[in-house]
Structure 1
Amino acid sequence: MPAERLMPTEESTDLIELTRSIVAKDLRPVIAGLDARAEFPRDVFRTLGRAGLLSLPYPEEVGGGGQPYEVYLQALEEIASASASVGVGVSVHALSCFGLFTAGTQEQQQAWLPEMLSGEQLGAYCLSEAHAGSDPAAMRTRAVREGDEYVINGAKAWTTHGGQADFYKVMARTSDDGGRGISCFLVPADTPGLSADNPEQKMGLMSSTTATMLFDDVRVPAERRLGAEGQGLPIALAGLDAGRLGIAAVATGLAQEALDVAIAYAKERETFGRAIIDHQGLAFVLADMAAAVESARATYLAAARLKDAGRPYSRQASIAKMVCTDNAMKVTTDAVQVLGGAGYTKDFPVERFMREAKVMQIFEGTNQIQRLVISRNLAR
């Protein structure tokens, strides 16, 4: 059943209905096959982009949808309810555009942002390295200035859309001054020397390609640096709070879908002469699942409204990411339990939901890192 939403405007209500229509027509019929074939859904992203769903939180004057985060995240949740892979991709694309929007010059924004937000180009975000996941200041990928260019060498791990994206937002070291020695670059995918390693063989999100990006004397014009030298890590970290809200919404959409499948099954499956939803032991499991989904949604929306009001929201973003992804793991696991043996087979999608939920506790900062962020904020 569709999530109950109290939208702030009539326009945003219409936007949710548009999103649901596109999801029903262009995503739900194909996602199971895409996942089974581990096929990247590039055409789906083009469809979402042409409908304006890849640019919702950006201002209209730069080609965006001009929507508050409260609205964008609920549209993202609707997309993720049909496909967590695509939902994650939409969130990553928004994060990949964030550095240009916040740190780019007016000339850079006018030159590149409209096409990036149109959906004709898809972005990726290169921050993590194999030895520097939760500690980005330890990165080793290096960009050396040579005249009007930078030459980048190194490798960036766990890149969503790696090898599929049209541009990469790349953090690379320009000096040895720790976290203050990192700069941000916008690198086109067809730049010589840039390539993708073999995609990771993951347990979930099969139609979301994840790969290590390899930089072998990649020459980038200096005009493609965002911000000043040494501002890369602040640019990256500024986007992470928004990115964490994106993953919180994706996790909630995934949990909502798992709940819906479990309820439908429990209404149809009979034991001892009645539907299993009428047995109190199982009904209470479903009630707890529903409470987890609705509390997750309320948590990410509370953080989004702080962001929209221009107020600090870093702690609330970490809380939302932690709560929503932990709840999604619990709800999807319970969905498998509700379906019993059938839930453990690929005849039903709940086993896929459970596999997809696990990674959400890991990326955009593990939930242990979220607890660290929250506790440090409380100690100030």
Structure 2
Amino acid sequence: MNFTFTDDEIAFQDAAKKVSAEVLKNNAKHYDETREFCSDSLKALGELGFWGMNLPSEYDGVDISSIGMTLAVEEVAYYCAATCSSLTAHFLSTDSILIGGTKQQKQDFLPRCAAGELLGAFALTEPGAGSNPAEMRTKATRTEEGWHLTGTKHYITNGAYADFLVVYAKTDPEAGHKGISAFLIERGTEGIEYASPEKTLGLRGSHIYEISFDCVVPESALLGEEGAGFSTAMEVLDRGRVEIAAMSLGIARAAYDDSLAWSKDRVVSGKPLCRHQGIQWKLAEMHTQLEAAKMVTYKAADSRDSDRRFSVESAVAKLFASEAAAMITDNAVQIHGGYGYSSDLPIERYYRDARITRIFEGTSEIQKLIIGRAITS
């Protein structure tokens, strides 16, 4: 495919790069070392409209193409992957409303989300139901007051900081995945408890939580139609996997750029490190993986704007880009030697941040299942 970016896409990428270089870059190390939530960086993005880059202009979104959005997400991740994680988690919640919500729900929430006023969280995963959401145990039972939700969600990005949660629960336990519905639950609802944020390997400024529910919400909290939750979630994850691929690109590109610059400056045995064949080969492999990851990611982004399902394209992009990021960040540590293992440089942070991209929004193994079933059907 010919990926010639439009003027609007390039301008949007440049805007994302500017705010990320000026604000996010300076905060990234602080968030990693202190485990403070990335509020300031998210706020900076929200003030410039980046919280709405997945939304159409009808709801005050940026109305940029998926290619333009991918380029912007890549820039955010290049400077701070933790902020990128919280941002893309917000997109999962607003995509849920955009895809599955009623007209009133869209009008009530999406413009405020696009304006950076409301932060969302996507509550699908459970302690015993990660790769297979159909095994979830969270239930919603209709009552005179509306719906009674009980259960526990786990690894929910933005959790306690979110102004609203999109919670997936079984409204008909006997109907399998067709008995799953989604609910739009606002912050402050009585009967919701948040555990302390998990202490994670990477993305330390993007907090994840276990959330327990024993609450009653009004009938209006049902997102769209009863029983449509699983279908909504799968469409949302198709979109989200393109964003994780873009996030992987950003982390990988940062590691590659730093490694290339280091290899030119670092002198070993009387010549720059990059003049040693072993290092040249590592850099060549990193460059090739990065370029290939860009192609599958941009292809998936292009497919996202089509009128057809793009599950395979998004799975391919997420699988390849995340695995490429793992290889590139690992080689970056090796090229930097002991300096790469030290927290004085961001290399080891890239390595840690990249690890989760092979897990969330569906593990690499799940992506292989999606691809394998599609090509053999």
TM range (shorter): over 0.9
Map of 1:195 onto structure 2? 193
- Structure-2 separation of matches of 1:162 and 1:104: 20
> Deviation digits for residues 286-336 of structure 1, max 9, x if unmatched?
111111111111111011111213233110110100000000000000000
- Structure-2 separation of matches of 1:57 and 1:99: 11
Map of 1:209 onto structure 2? 207
> Deviation digits for residues 124-166 of structure 1, max 9, x if unmatched?
1100110111111111111111124111111101101121111
Map of 1:101 onto structure 2? 98
Map of 2:141 onto structure 1? 144
1:9 is the counterpart of 2:6: yes
- Secondary structure, counterpart of 2:204 in structure 1: coil
**Match 1:274 to one of 271, 274, 277:** 271
Once the two structures are overlaid, the 10-residue window that deviates more, 104-113 or 335-344, is: 104-113
Would the aligned equivalents of 1:46 and 1:120 in 2 still touch at CA under 8 Å? no
- Structure-2 separation of matches of 1:59 and 1:148: 34
1:228 is the counterpart of 2:225: yes
- Structure-1 separation of matches of 2:300 and 2:3: 16
CA shift, 1:204, in A, is 1.0
Would the aligned equivalents of 2:183 and 2:221 in 1 still touch at CA under 8 Å? yes
Map of 2:216 onto structure 1? 219
Map of 1:24 onto structure 2? 21
CA shift, 1:57, in A, is 2.4
Map of 1:298 onto structure 2? 295
The letter for the 2-side match of 1:343 is G
1:284 is the counterpart of 2:281: yes
- Structure-2 separation of matches of 1:12 and 1:293: 20
> Deviation digits for residues 176-225 of structure 1, max 9, x if unmatched?
12111111001112111112111111111111101101112x12111121
CA shift, 1:74, in A, is 0.8
| Consecutive unaligned residues in structure 2, runs of 5 or more | none
- Secondary structure, counterpart of 2:216 in structure 1: strand
TM-score between the two structures when normalised by the length of structure 1: 0.96
- Structure-2 separation of matches of 1:103 and 1:173: 16
- Secondary structure, counterpart of 1:253 in structure 2: helix
Map of 1:45 onto structure 2? 42
- Structure-2 separation of matches of 1:12 and 1:278: 37
Relative to 1, partners in 2 of residues 1:7 and 1:55: Cα closer, same or farther, differing over 3 Å?
farther
Would the aligned equivalents of 1:34 and 1:40 in 2 still touch at CA under 8 Å? yes
> Deviation digits for residues 204-259 of structure 1, max 9, x if unmatched?
1111101101112x121111211211111111111110011110000110000000
**Match 1:173 to one of 170, 174, 192:** 170
What are the within-5 Å matches in structure 2 for residues 79-158 of structure 1? 79-158=76-155
> Deviation digits for residues 247-288 of structure 1, max 9, x if unmatched?
000011000000011111111110111110111110111111
> Deviation digits for residues 79-135 of structure 1, max 9, x if unmatched?
000111111111111111012111212122111211122112111110011011111
- Structure-2 separation of matches of 1:47 and 1:314: 32
- Secondary structure, counterpart of 2:51 in structure 1: coil
**Match 1:238 to one of 235, 247, 257:** 235
- Structure-1 separation of matches of 2:304 and 2:236: 12
Would the aligned equivalents of 2:145 and 2:216 in 1 still touch at CA under 8 Å? no
- Structure-2 separation of matches of 1:88 and 1:294: 22
- Structure-2 separation of matches of 1:71 and 1:7: 11
The letter for the 2-side match of 1:24 is A
Map of 2:30 onto structure 1? 33
**Match 2:361 to one of 359, 364, 374:** 364
The letter for the 2-side match of 1:97 is T
- Structure-2 separation of matches of 1:206 and 1:103: 31
- Structure-2 separation of matches of 1:6 and 1:32: 33
- Structure-1 separation of matches of 2:180 and 2:3: 42
What are the within-5 Å matches in structure 2 for residues 254-273 of structure 1? 254-273=251-270
TM-score between the two structures when normalised by the length of structure 2: 0.97
| Consecutive unaligned residues in structure 1, runs of 5 or more | none
The letter for the 2-side match of 1:229 is E
The letter for the 2-side match of 1:291 is T
RMSD: 1.3
Would the aligned equivalents of 2:9 and 2:67 in 1 still touch at CA under 8 Å? no
Q: Following superposition, which runs of at least 4 residues in structure 1 exceed 4 angstroms of deviation? A: none
- Structure-2 separation of matches of 1:303 and 1:97: 20
1:352 is the counterpart of 2:367: no
Would the aligned equivalents of 1:259 and 1:289 in 2 still touch at CA under 8 Å? yes
- Secondary structure, counterpart of 2:337 in structure 1: helix
The letter for the 2-side match of 1:195 is E
**Match 2:55 to one of 44, 55, 58:** 58
- Secondary structure, counterpart of 2:160 in structure 1: coil
The letter for the 2-side match of 1:201 is K
The letter for the 2-side match of 1:17 is D
Q: Between Structure 1 and Structure 2, how many residues are aligned? A: 375
The letter for the 2-side match of 1:215 is F
- Structure-2 separation of matches of 1:106 and 1:280: 60
Among all aligned residue pairs of Structure 1 and Structure 2, give the percentage whose two residues are the same amino acid: 35
